[in-house]
């Protein structure tokens, strides 16, 4: 699932989401739900994408409500 990190005012006052996916960076695929039977993804590895203001979210994924962290406060890997 998605890991959400909420920051305080001094660090941007927003939320950074770490989103797991399979596929490529250009064509990410959301992981199947782990609470029911599913066919494992053909790709053997899981990658993670940071989601902040201005980021692309892998298709089919709904993020929790809330303000996203401004990109200028995100780690360089997330911008």
pLDDT in tens, the chain (79 residues): 889 999 999 999 999 999 888 888 788 888 877 788 877 777 668 889 899 998 877 777 778 778 999 999 999 888 7
| Owning domain of residue 25 | 3-78
d(CA 60, CA 18): 15
- Relative to beta strand 15-23, strand 28-30 is antiparallel
pTM score of the predicted model: 0.79
What pLDDT does residue 43 have?
Answer: 67
Nearest in space to 4 (alpha carbons), one of 66, 79, 75 = 66
pLDDT computed for residue 1 by the predictor: 80
Tally of domains within the chain: 1
Interacting residues of 6 by C-beta distance below 8 A, sequence separation 6+: 14, 15, 66
Tokens 């660090």, residue located: 11
């Amino acid at each position: 699932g998605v890991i959400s990190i909420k920051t305080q005012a001094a660090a941007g006052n927003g939320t950074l989401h770490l989103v797991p996916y399979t596929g490529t960076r250009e064509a990410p695929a959301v992981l199947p739900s782990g609470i029911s039977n599913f066919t494992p993804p053909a790709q053997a590895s899981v990658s993670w994408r940071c989601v902040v203001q201005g980021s692309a979210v892998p298709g089919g994924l709904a993020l929790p409500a809330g303000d996203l962290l401004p990109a200028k406060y995100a780690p360089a890997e997330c911008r």
